[in-house]
A = this chain, B = another copy of it.
Amino acid sequence: MKEQTRADVIIRADFVAWNWWRRCGRGMGLMQGARLIGLDWGTSSLRAYLFGDNGMALAERMAPSGVMHLQRFLPPGKTEAPREQLIEAAFDEICAEWLAEKGRNLQVIACGMVGSTVGWKEAAYLKVPVGTGALAKALTMVKTADGVTVQIVPGICAAGVPGKSFPEILRGEETQIAGIIARLAVPESGASENLLIGLPGTHSKWVQVRDREIVSFSTFVTGELYGLLTRYSVVAKSEKKPELLDAESFHLGLQLGRARTGEAAGGLLSTIFSTRSKRVLSELREEQQPDYLSGLLIGEELASVQRVLARDQRSLSDYSRILLAGDRALCARYQAACRQLSWPAPDFVEGATELGLWSIAWAAGLVN
């Protein structure tokens, strides 16, 4: 692993300046320089960015209009409507004002579940290895009733190798990765770096990037399991979720989750139950259960990432950098876990999706 270099500082300084421009932009008439609308359109929410020259985000909007949550666009009195109609209504709600200002000749790019079979139009998965250029060449076009063209970024898949790996898919994260790759293109970083990128979330992805291309990745259902268990389960449902991380419980869970022998010999199906048994026998208080479980699952995830690398004859030391992107608070939790598990310290990359949308649009010639 390389030492923390000046590049890290640049990544952050760059972002601070960028955010400053964005905030200033609104009051300075920069809306006139709008070049591109970028949509991060997932299952439960829709986030839109208005980009100016050089990918500067001039404005940002968010709506609870994920592709699985479009009921509020149903015509009055109706219980169903064609999916395209609902999607276009959600699109108009968030973009119409921006499009009107520019006379509708603004380019639009979108990533995420909007390109799935339950989205606007299917944007087929590309097989690894995939870089920003390949994504840009495989955009799927849809046209709204009003004649606006929207380009959808494809997902990525990796075929399974019998006895070695099962098939993997991602959608939306390819854009985050494109953003991270773009953000790292500073003099200090060689183009042929090996990167290990963690994208914690409902389905956490751990992505290996070589020569600026995604070469392989693995998924862990950590966030989804945490949500299901704390919301619905007998074993770990908790009404009391503390605002602040309970570091002690988190650490306790982490140590059990990372292990596979001794107390952890029974594996995850067994260790999850300790959330309940320790609570019943007063070794854990109710408000400690969520962070204990979080530590348990994140510990299992990180240890499993190392086992997947080992299966592929690799190890953490093969990567010049480890990076995290996504929700800031969740990434901070992963950074704490990495520290406790003696991993090389991962850097947090902010704004990866928006930069990725711009980069792919730029590579596709939608902007220049």
Residues of A participating in the B interface, judged by any CB pair closer than 8 Å: 43, 125, 157, 160, 162-169, 202-203, 218-222, 224-225, 228-229, 232-235, 256, 261-263, 265-274, 276-278, 280-281, 283, 297, 300-301, 303-305, 307-308, 310-311
Contact = CB atoms under 8 A, between A and B. Distances in A.
Candidate in A168, A221, A283, A310 with the most chain B CB atoms within 10 angstroms: A221
Contacts of A256: 166
A168 B43 contact: no
B307 A267 contact: yes
Contacts of A218: 266, 270
A61 to B, nearest CB: 25
B270 A308 contact: yes
User: Which 7 pairs show the lowest CB-CB distances between chains A and B?
Assistant: A265-B311, A220-B269, A219-B273, A267-B304, A228-B228, A166-B274, A268-B268
A281 B167 contact: yes
17 contacts: A43-B234, A162-B263, A163-B263, A165-B263, A166-B277, A167-B278, A168-B273, A168-B277, A203-B235, A219-B273, A220-B269, A221-B235, A228-B232, A265-B304, A265-B311, A266-B304, A269-B300
- Taking the full assembly, how many copies of this chain does it contain? 2
A232 B233 CA distance: 11
Given A157-B281, A164-B263, A221-B270, 12 more contacts: A162-B263, A163-B263, A165-B263, A166-B274, A167-B281, A169-B277, A219-B270, A224-B233, A261-B311, A266-B307, A267-B268, A268-B268
Contact of A265 (B167, B277, B307): B307
A249 to B, nearest CB: 14
Contact of A310 (B265, B273, B277, B280): B265
A315 to B, nearest CB: 13
Contacts of A310: 265
Contacts of A162: 263
B167 A304 contact: no
A221 B262 contact: no
A116 to B, nearest CB: 8
Given A221-B235, A311-B262, A269 B268 contact: yes
